[in-house]
Structure 1
Amino acid sequence: MATARPAQPAAAPSAPRQGVAALPVRNRGLLTLGVMLATIMQILDTTIANVALPHMQTSLGATADTVTWVLTSYIVASAIAIPITGWLSDAIGSRNLFLISTVGFIIASALCGMAQNLEQMVAFRILQGISAAFMNPLSQTVMLDINPPERQAKAMSIWGMGIMVGPIMGPVLGGWLTDNFNWRWVFYVNLPLGVICIAILWWLLPSRPVRKRRFDLFGFSLLALGISALQLMLDRGQGEDWLGSTEIWVEMLVAGIALWMFTVHMATGKNPMFERDLWKNRNLVTAIFFMLVIGVVMMATMALLPPMLQTLYGHSVFDTGMLLMPRGVGVILTMAISAQLTQRGVDARWVVGIGMALAAYSLWQMTHWSLEMGTWPIIVSGFVQGLGMGLVFMPLNGMAFATLPPHQRTEGSSLMNLSRNIGASVGISVVTTILARSIQASHAALAPNISAANLDTMDPNLLQMLGGSGETVLAMANAEINRQAMMIGYLNDFWAMMIVTALSVPLVVFLKRPKGPAANPDPAAAGH
């Protein structure tokens, strides 16, 4: 009879050797399934609620500005909790932390589905985000630990598909659930998946050894305070008139001071939150910067497109999800290709550079959208963006982790996930602000050009003769101005994201091609 104990005793992971995993297990395939279920389940929740936001807004009594807290509260909570993953994993054991966080995630998902107002939803999403924070780094570490060096590239490509496809498939699943049931099922769907996941992890998941070390409470407090103040400033800035508000000045100063003190503490403190050797790893630090951009491009785009497609183009929730699905197809194609390329000795730096260039090109395509276009430009640009993201993710992770010793994997993964979450939360807030300000400015510029006196399609006196009907015509004209102003706002967002993505391409020169088996794994070994 199967017991609920780890498959192997928890020995300290040693330096990787060919054909030997750091933590061997009895059934690697089934454990991989359980780990990937956890990964996909928690990453889906970063975007599965996107397409349901209009429905949540009505049900929870939120406004268009405040309903985005459903997204950002989850991401920010994850960003704050991620840095302590390494310490918690050492303190209570990686197996225990993975199981506790998965159970917490399932409970929080059920509570989100039962939320009756925005305050409850945000509170439960924070709980869900904290639980999810530990699942991502731990899942990546497990995938590396249970595979020998020659299989790690394939393991990272499998893990990367879940990370990249999850946010893209989220709107499809969310749209189908919302159309056929209601928005609450975008959270309830985690329950059956979670039960299966917990059963597999309980049976097979091994554990790294417990390693007592001092918790850097001061450093963690500074980082949490800095991230929270930064996000609060970005979320409330538009409504409070930015630097015209004392509140925004206070939040900006708190964020700047806290993050600066955290940086100094990391450089000079006796027991910093992250080992200082991590910051000497050039590949890891460069990958962290790339993850910031990936967070902005992927998550901000996925936050913008659902309301745009539903509001401006009139697509249903499910159709919106289907229009976003080509991104997932592109990711799957090029992630498999990138794995093959790196296995055959192609310099991964070229693969990453081409991928980021493709992502920038897809955003350039989106800057040429118009209100009169069909669905084809949406499909093509999404597919191209997926191609680019798929080329970037696996080689980037491979280069970062090939140069890290096994005992630093959890903290390295935490840093990369933290940077992606910060990029996502900051990106969503910034593009939302750009959109709101662009709509205001564009409406103010367009409205004076439309009046009863200069409507070319009718006699200038006709509107006055029509009385109330004339007011209706002007109201219709104003609605069209709003549509045009909103479209200009979205295009400005696409321009901004394109520039950020294009400027990140030269960062590939800072990546160093790793040496050894992790750099060029044996294709034969990786294929069985």
Structure 2
Amino acid sequence: MDTPDTAAAKPAPPSPPPPLSGGKLVLATVAVALATFMNVLDSSIANVAIPTISGNLGVSVDEGTWVITLFAAANAVAIPLTGWLTQRMGQIKLFVISILLFVLSSWLCGVAPNLPFLLAARVLQGAVAGPMIPLSQAILLSSYPKAKSGLALALWAMTATVGPIAGPALGGWITDSYSWAWIFYINIPVGLFAAAVTWAIYRDRDTPSRKLPFDAVGLLSLIAWVASLQIMLDKGKDLDWFQSPVIVGLAVFAALSFAFFVIWELTDAHPIVNLRLFAGRNFLGGTVAISVAYGVFFANLVLLPQWMQQYLGYRSVDAGMATAPLGIFAVLLAPVMARLMPRSDARVLGTGAFIGFAIVFFLRSHYYLDVDMFTLVVPTLLQGIPMALFFVPLTAIILSGLPPEKIPAAAGLSNFARVFFGAAATAIASTTWNNRSILHHARLMDQAHVNNPAFSDSLQQLQTVLHLNPQQAYARFEQSVVAQAAMLGLNDVFWISSVIFIAIIPLIWLTKPVHGQASDAASAAH
């Protein structure tokens, strides 16, 4: 027990630096916001460029999708490291180093001569991006007076929301007008500016660093099961799933390494991931709900522009513009959510979000090959409404009832689960689309025989109208069947997505009531 003398001898903890003001505050906000924008933008900017990237590198679109999934998987693994790295290096040093490594990896992505090189660069990019989002929140909050913390979070949320809106449209325009490499090169000047300004303003405001025990075994086992599971999901379709010994081996290795990871993390004194948080009802229900919902949402955000470009003949920029309205309502309704949260039950708001998503995907499940731009855009525009009701209420549920010292770990773990589900769901949705397309193609071709008058008439009409020979007419017919089957397969994915959103609503209502806590939720929502 400390005596008064020994207590007095202990050095007082360093007081936090005072808030910034004037032009320095404005410049600092711009720099941190640009780093956030750059990071979030890269999670969606490549979506519409996948067909172009795949074609230029001589790979299939399915293989090109790894550009998205491996970034998300690496990002998920890096997120739990943020707390340890922050205490080891300090917030500002870690933030600036992450930005500079992000710039380097962006340059490597742009100069990639082949797919393996590009994927390696994207893994690096996703890993160094992990600490940037939570650190940007913390740095902004430390820059504003406590009374204006809501303003700081609103500015951050606005930036983080605009990124996914601008990503598809900007990526499409750059890809069509210049080269897909420039979707990565644009990060270089933005990142260098953000890093230079951040270091100039904040270098004397860094948090103290100290040596901490590091759970190297936990990290390696985390990487092992995430990497093996993601590779299994990405390669499963190409290797005929469990007919392939490679897929079987990956599945067994993923299961064993996951089991080891769980046992190790539950017994280690300083785990890299605090799995005991799942013992809390609200954390468990909220994390599973937000992860599954985000996975379904993100996977469809990847598939939709691919379908537009492959089967509707849209240019990259057109596909980007068709998906860009996604965040309009999300931005406009953000201030409304800030006022609504303190007076509402988060479970009601989350339920409204899931019902809204279900309606949007049900509308999309009725798409057809001659669909016009208005019909494509309306569900995307409406999707912004449930997006505004999505992150903050569910994060409030996840963090509710936790002591302050556990909130950073809880936010990190829930973000890891959410981002990983996004990567895994993209691979699963792509496989489901492919399998359903094959099924519909077989069903449609069952009707393509000489005894079917409709089939014979269709071939005759193609020969007469387009002046084709019988072989050319059949090839054109087969092409139309492939497009029709792909559309029907994607409609199945949309319908299944709608059902999933309804099915996970009970998870929200297994949690305890949560009112308010908007600030804590907003600070960890992304």
TM-score norm. by structure 1 comes to 0.87
Find the residue that maps to 2:270 and give its secondary structure.
coil
Native 8 Å contact 1:291 1:423 kept in 2: no
C-alpha deviation, 1:458, in angstroms: 5.7
C-alpha deviation, 1:281, in angstroms: 5.2
Note the 1:216-365 alignment, pairs <5 A: 216-275=215-274, 278-279=277-278, 282-343=281-342, 345-365=343-363
C-alpha deviation, 1:295, in angstroms: 2.8
1:115 corresponds to 2:85? no
CA distance in 2, matches of 1:125, 1:390: 29
Query: Which deviates more from structure 2 when the two are superposed, residues 149-158 or residues 325-334?
Result: 149-158
The verdict on how the C-alpha distance between 1:493 and 1:65 changes in structure 2, with shifts beyond 3 A counting, is same
Find the residue that maps to 2:86 and give its secondary structure.
helix
Q: Deviations over 1:220-266 (max 9, x none)?
A: 11111111111011011111111212221221122122222222222
Query: Which deviates more from structure 2 when the two are superposed, residues 206-215 or residues 308-317?
Result: 206-215
Pick aligned residue for 1:396 from 390, 394, 408: 394
Show structure 1 runs of 5+ residues with no match.
Answer: 1-10, 15-21, 522-528
1:377 corresponds to 2:375? yes
Partner of 1:493: 493
Q: For 2:254, give the aligned amino acid.
A: A
CA distance in 1, matches of 2:151, 2:510: 24
Native 8 Å contact 1:103 1:198 kept in 2: yes
Show structure 2 runs of 5+ residues with no match.
Answer: 1-11, 521-526
Native 8 Å contact 1:165 1:331 kept in 2: no
Q: For 1:315, give the aligned amino acid.
A: Y
Find the residue that maps to 1:65 and give its secondary structure.
helix
Pick aligned residue for 1:25 from 11, 19, 29: 19
Q: For 1:203, give the aligned amino acid.
A: A
Find the residue that maps to 1:304 and give its secondary structure.
helix
1:179 corresponds to 2:176? yes
Native 8 Å contact 1:443 1:485 kept in 2: yes
The verdict on how the C-alpha distance between 1:454 and 1:210 changes in structure 2, with shifts beyond 3 A counting, is same
C-alpha deviation, 1:457, in angstroms: 7.4
CA distance in 1, matches of 2:514, 2:338: 15
C-alpha deviation, 1:162, in angstroms: 3.3
Find the residue that maps to 1:456 and give its secondary structure.
helix
Pick aligned residue for 1:198 from 182, 195, 198: 195
Q: For 1:472, give the aligned amino acid.
A: Q
- Give the RMSD, CA atoms, in angstroms: 2.9
Native 8 Å contact 1:451 1:474 kept in 2: no
Q: Deviations over 1:190-223 (max 9, x none)?
A: 1121122112321333433324321111111111
Find the residue that maps to 1:52 and give its secondary structure.
helix
Q: Deviations over 1:285-326 (max 9, x none)?
A: 444223312431332122101111122222221121111121
The verdict on how the C-alpha distance between 1:435 and 1:461 changes in structure 2, with shifts beyond 3 A counting, is closer
C-alpha deviation, 1:142, in angstroms: 3.1
Find the residue that maps to 1:222 and give its secondary structure.
helix
C-alpha deviation, 1:383, in angstroms: 1.6
Native 8 Å contact 2:360 2:382 kept in 1: yes
Find the residue that maps to 1:214 and give its secondary structure.
coil
Q: For 1:266, give the aligned amino acid.
A: E
C-alpha deviation, 1:460, in angstroms: 10
Partner of 1:8: none
Q: For 2:222, give the aligned amino acid.
A: L
Pick aligned residue for 2:417 from 416, 419, 424: 419
Q: For 1:433, give the aligned amino acid.
A: T
CA distance in 2, matches of 1:364, 1:275: 37
C-alpha deviation, 1:143, in angstroms: 4.0
C-alpha deviation, 1:451, in angstroms: 3.2
Find the residue that maps to 2:59 and give its secondary structure.
coil
- Paired residue total: 502
1:129 corresponds to 2:123? no
The verdict on how the C-alpha distance between 1:61 and 1:196 changes in structure 2, with shifts beyond 3 A counting, is same
Partner of 2:31: 34
Partner of 2:509: 509
Q: For 1:63, give the aligned amino acid.
A: S
CA distance in 2, matches of 1:153, 1:283: 24
Find the residue that maps to 2:469 and give its secondary structure.
helix
Note the 1:47-62 alignment, pairs <5 A: 47-62=44-59
Note the 1:94-105 alignment, pairs <5 A: 94-105=91-102
Native 8 Å contact 2:175 2:183 kept in 1: yes
Native 8 Å contact 2:459 2:474 kept in 1: no
C-alpha deviation, 1:513, in angstroms: 5.1
The verdict on how the C-alpha distance between 1:79 and 1:270 changes in structure 2, with shifts beyond 3 A counting, is same
Query: Which deviates more from structure 2 when the two are superposed, residues 197-206 or residues 215-224?
Result: 197-206
The verdict on how the C-alpha distance between 1:520 and 1:457 changes in structure 2, with shifts beyond 3 A counting, is closer
Q: For 2:484, give the aligned amino acid.
A: Q
The verdict on how the C-alpha distance between 1:281 and 1:41 changes in structure 2, with shifts beyond 3 A counting, is farther
1:63 corresponds to 2:57? no
Partner of 2:429: 431
Native 8 Å contact 2:266 2:276 kept in 1: no
The verdict on how the C-alpha distance between 1:163 and 1:301 changes in structure 2, with shifts beyond 3 A counting, is farther
The verdict on how the C-alpha distance between 1:280 and 1:211 changes in structure 2, with shifts beyond 3 A counting, is farther
Pick aligned residue for 2:72 from 70, 75, 80: 75
The verdict on how the C-alpha distance between 1:319 and 1:23 changes in structure 2, with shifts beyond 3 A counting, is farther
Native 8 Å contact 1:295 1:422 kept in 2: no
The verdict on how the C-alpha distance between 1:515 and 1:310 changes in structure 2, with shifts beyond 3 A counting, is closer
CA distance in 2, matches of 1:337, 1:329: 14
The verdict on how the C-alpha distance between 1:497 and 1:320 changes in structure 2, with shifts beyond 3 A counting, is same
CA distance in 1, matches of 2:490, 2:88: 46
Pick aligned residue for 2:448 from 450, 474, 486: 450
CA distance in 1, matches of 2:292, 2:84: 27
Native 8 Å contact 2:360 2:380 kept in 1: yes
Native 8 Å contact 1:141 1:409 kept in 2: no
C-alpha deviation, 1:435, in angstroms: 1.1
C-alpha deviation, 1:403, in angstroms: 5.1
Query: Which deviates more from structure 2 when the two are superposed, residues 209-218 or residues 171-180?
Result: 209-218
Q: Deviations over 1:267-298 (max 9, x none)?
A: 22222113467445554444422331243133
Q: Deviations over 1:455-501 (max 9, x none)?
A: 53766996999997011111111111101110111111112222222
The verdict on how the C-alpha distance between 1:297 and 1:29 changes in structure 2, with shifts beyond 3 A counting, is farther
Native 8 Å contact 2:44 2:167 kept in 1: yes
Q: For 2:119, give the aligned amino acid.
A: V
Q: For 2:19, give the aligned amino acid.
A: V
The verdict on how the C-alpha distance between 1:356 and 1:475 changes in structure 2, with shifts beyond 3 A counting, is same
The verdict on how the C-alpha distance between 1:473 and 1:396 changes in structure 2, with shifts beyond 3 A counting, is same
Partner of 2:524: none
Q: For 2:473, give the aligned amino acid.
A: V
Note the 1:439-478 alignment, pairs <5 A: 439-456=437-454, 469-478=469-478
CA distance in 2, matches of 1:481, 1:91: 58
The verdict on how the C-alpha distance between 1:370 and 1:465 changes in structure 2, with shifts beyond 3 A counting, is closer
1:480 corresponds to 2:480? yes
The verdict on how the C-alpha distance between 1:247 and 1:124 changes in structure 2, with shifts beyond 3 A counting, is same
The verdict on how the C-alpha distance between 1:505 and 1:333 changes in structure 2, with shifts beyond 3 A counting, is farther
CA distance in 2, matches of 1:51, 1:132: 21
TM-score norm. by structure 2 comes to 0.87
Find the residue that maps to 1:51 and give its secondary structure.
helix
